[in-house]
Amino acid sequence: MDTVTHGIAGAVFARALAARPGARAALLFGLVAAMLPDLDFLLLSDRLDYLRNHRGWTHSFVYLPLFALGLALAAKVLFRHAPLARLWLFSAVGLATHILFDWITSFGTMFWIPFRRTRYSLDWVFILDPIFTGIVALSLLATGIFRAHGRRIAAAGGATLLLYLGFCAALHARALSTWKRLDAPRPGAPVVALPQFLSPFRWLGLSEHDGELHAAFFDIGPFAKGVEEPVPPMRLTEVLASLSDFYPPPERARIRRYPKPSDSPSLAAARALPEVRTYLDFARFPLAALTLEPDGGASITFQDLRFLPWFTGPWEREKGGRYRRQPFVYRVRLDRSGRPIEKGFVR
């Protein structure tokens, strides 16, 4: 979830718990606390460090009471007469909403650090959801306009958001069931349905089979469109207009099959590199591809199929004004003896 939406949601839920004398503190510290966990990016040195540690210790339920206490103590400078316990509660609510609303996305949140580094994700909502943002933004605006009823408005906004998330959870269950029916993965195999950009009805199905990975985009909504040969946008302004072309109804979904490479010394050498291990620890559906080079070396790429959609960011501008997507692909080149001579993200 984006940081601004986190802040707004935290303010709404904290305001729902505050009587009018504490409304200002609830809004302020719910907002600040809900945005605080994403400041961990200031301590991350590069893209691999981001994969290794983002949504880590600042997103941990274990550290939440301590962070909330620190914010509450700082808040006493502005709100000297407010009880410390109330300030702690507002801060704790903001932090908790951040962790929970990251959990419903597909990135993965390590909320038991330092005891476990397991990433948890519910795959209910895409990381940018205008409906989610709209609900909390309108709720926060209404609490400011109708201050006398701010607590009830915030409570109603929070309840509306929870109903929407329940709707997304039900759609996720339906999408996952649909994907299992379409692809028929073996019992116990990794299989997911991942939410997609701008619609709770659009999904990406991923599953693992013996020797290959399967993927398909589909739309379980009443207005599913899709075209036979969708064309990726060449400019950022074309993204929204072409979006629905890539999501047909399930009966017309095209399953893409990606073969896994056979085990080899080159592949094993690449997987043993610390940077590649970091990438693979983060990836949920990693696909490796190996190419032998004329000099006896090898080029190995690793891609997480969660980021297969053509529109997934980040975007960057090319020469001539066009926009293109930076691929989430890590590449290693080995010499003939298996030593790395080049490694890094593909640009």
The alpha carbons of the chain give a radius of gyration, in whole angstroms, of 23
How far CA 257 is from CA of 205, 263, 299, in Å, comes to 12, 19, 21
For the chain, the domains span: 3-170, 179-258, 260-345
Q: Which residues, in sequence order, are CB contacts of 17 under 8 Å at separation 6+?
A: 26, 89, 90, 93
pLDDT of residue 290: 94
**Both tokens of residue 319?**
């020469």
| Residue with tokens 């004329």, as numbered in its chain | 294
Least confident of 102-116, 216-230, 287-301, 309-323: 309-323
Give the pLDDT band (50/70/90) at residue 80: confident
pLDDT of residue 344: 93
Q: For residues 18 and 79, what is the distance between their CA atoms, to the nearest angstrom? A: 14
Give the pLDDT band (50/70/90) at residue 316: low
Give the pLDDT band (50/70/90) at residue 314: very low
Mean pLDDT over 285-291 rounds to 94
**Both tokens of residue 221?**
């909504």
Higher pLDDT, 141 or 326: 141
Mean pLDDT over 181-202 rounds to 94
Q: For residues 44 and 37, what is the distance between their CA atoms, to the nearest angstrom? A: 13
- Give the tens place of pLDDT for each residue, 145-174: 999 999 999 999 999 999 999 999 999 999
Mean pLDDT over 206-228 rounds to 93
Mean pLDDT over 170-197 rounds to 96
**Both tokens of residue 192?**
């997911």
pLDDT of residue 103: 97
Higher pLDDT, 240 or 226: 226
- 3-class SS string, 22-56: HHHHHHHHHHHHHHHHHHHHHHCCCHHHHHHHCCC
pLDDT of residue 238: 76
Mean pLDDT over 217-221 rounds to 95
Mean pLDDT over 2-25 rounds to 90
Q: Which residues, in sequence order, are CB contacts of 235 under 8 Å at separation 6+?
A: 321, 322, 323
How far CA 324 is from CA of 81, 277, 301, 310, 331, in Å, comes to 53, 27, 20, 9, 19
Other CB atoms within a 10 A radius of the CB of residue 34 amount to 31
* Torsion angle (degrees, nearest 10) of CA 204, 209, 213, 216: -30
* Torsion angle (degrees, nearest 10) of CA 16, 21, 22, 24: 90
Q: For residues 186 and 188, what is the distance between their CA atoms, to the nearest angstrom? A: 6
Give the pLDDT band (50/70/90) at residue 317: low
Mean pLDDT over 225-233 rounds to 81
Q: Which residues, in sequence order, are CB contacts of 91 under 8 Å at separation 6+?
A: 29, 30, 32, 33, 67, 68, 69, 71, 72, 75
Q: What is the mean pLDDT of the chain?
A: 91
Q: For residues 308 and 44, what is the distance between their CA atoms, to the nearest angstrom? A: 25
Mean pLDDT over 101-123 rounds to 95
Mean pLDDT over 275-302 rounds to 94
Backbone torsions φ then ψ of 291, nearest 5 degrees? -125, 125
pLDDT of residue 311: 47
